[in-house]
Amino acid sequence: MTAIETFIARIQPLVGNRISTNATVRQHHAHGEGWQSPDPAAQPDVVVFARTTEEVAAIVSACHDLYLPVIPFGGGTSLEGQLTATKGGVSLDLSQMNAIPEIRPQDLSCRVQAGVTRQQLNGLLRSDGLFFAVDPGGEATLGGMCATRASGTGAVRYGTMRENVLGLTAVMADGKIIQTGGNVRKSATGYDLTGLLIGSEGTLGIITEIQARLHPLPETILGATCQFSTLADAVDTATSIIQAGLPIGRLELLDDVQMDACIRYSSLEGYRPLPTLFFELHASPASVTEQADLLREITEYHNGLSFRASASPEERTRLWKARHDAFWACMAYRQGHKGMTTDAVVPISAMTDMITLAKQDIEESGLVAPIVGHVGDGNFHTVILIPPEPDGWARAQALDHKIIQRALDLGGSISGEHGIGIAKQMFMHNQHGNDAIMVMHAIKRALDPRNILNPGMLLPAAVSP
Q: Nearest-CB residue to ligand FAD? A: 144
Tell me how far apart the alpha carbons of residues 329 and 230 are, in angstroms, rounded to a whole number. 22
79 binds ligand FAD (CB under 6 A): yes
Contact of 29 with 83, CB cutoff 8 Å: yes
Residues 6 or more apart whose Cβ sits within 8 Å of residue 438: 462
The yes or no reply on residue 74 touching ligand FAD (CB under 6 A) is yes
Distance of closest approach, residue 33 Cβ to ligand FAD, in angstroms = 4
Contact status: 113 vs ligand FAD (CB under 6 A): no
Burial grade of 87 (CB within 10 A; 0-12, 13-18, 19 or more): middle
Interface pick for ligand FAD out of 45, 280, 417, 448 (rule CB under 6 A): 417
Helix (H), strand (E) at residue 212: strand 206-213
Is 252 one of the binding residues for ligand FAD (CB under 6 A)?
no
Gyration radius (Cα) of the chain, Å: 22
- Residue 180: CA atoms inside 13 Å, Cβ hemisphere, count? 25
Helix (H) or strand (E) holding 438: helix 434-447
Contact call for residue 399 and ligand FAD (CB under 6 A): no
CA 61 vs CA 48, 171, 291, 450: distances in Å: 14, 9, 54, 12
**What Å distances lie between residue 203 and 145, 234, 454, CA to CA?**
14, 39, 5
Q: List the one residue out of 280, 284, 286, 262 whose CA is nearest residue 272.
A: 262
Binders of ligand FAD among residues 312 to 331 (CB under 6 A) are 327
Shortest distance in whole angstroms from residue 366 CB to ligand FAD: 25
207 touching ligand FAD, by CB under 6 A: yes
How near is the Cβ of 400 to ligand FAD at its closest, in Å? 16
Shortest Å distance, C-beta 292 to ligand FAD? 25
Give the one residue of 7, 35, 73, 131 binding ligand FAD; rule: CB under 6 A.
73
Q: Give 74-118 as a 3 state SS string.
A: CCCCCCCCCCCCECECEEEECCCCCCCCEEEHHHCEEEEECCCEH
Q: Is 75 in the site for ligand FAD (CB under 6 A)?
A: yes
Choice from 90, 94, 319, 423 touching ligand FAD (CB under 6 A): 94
Residue closer to ligand FAD by CB (options 92, 288) is 92
The whole-angstrom separation of Cα 12 and Cα 268 is 50
Q: Which residues pair with 71 in a beta bridge?
A: 91
**Are 66 and 450 a contacting pair, CB within 8 Å?**
no
- Residue number with CB closer to ligand FAD (7 or 307): 7
Among 43, 77, 169, 415, binds ligand FAD (CB under 6 A): 77
Q: What is the per-residue binding string for ligand FAD in 29-68, x denoting contact by CB under 6 A? A: ---xx-----------------------------------
Residue 173 identity: A
Q: Does 362 bind ligand FAD (CB under 6 A)?
A: no
CA distance 344 to 330: 18
Give the one residue of 76, 89, 370, 387 binding ligand FAD; rule: CB under 6 A.
76
Q: How many whole angstroms from its chain centre is CA 434?
A: 26
Q: For residue 417, give the DSSP letter.
A: S
Minimum CB separation of residue 163 from ligand FAD in Å reads 13
Nearer to ligand FAD, 97 or 283 (CB): 97
Q: Which is nearer to ligand FAD, 136 or 181 (CB)?
A: 136
**Residues in 133-172 at the binding interface with ligand FAD, rule: CB under 6 A:** 136-138, 140-141, 143-145, 147-148, 150-152
Annotate each residue in 278-317 with x if it binds ligand FAD (CB under 6 A) or - if it does not, as one string.
----------------------------------------
Q: Which residues are near ligand FAD by CB under 6 A?
A: 32-33, 71-79, 82-83, 94, 114, 136-138, 140-141, 143-145, 147-148, 150-152, 201-202, 206-207, 327, 417-418, 454, 457
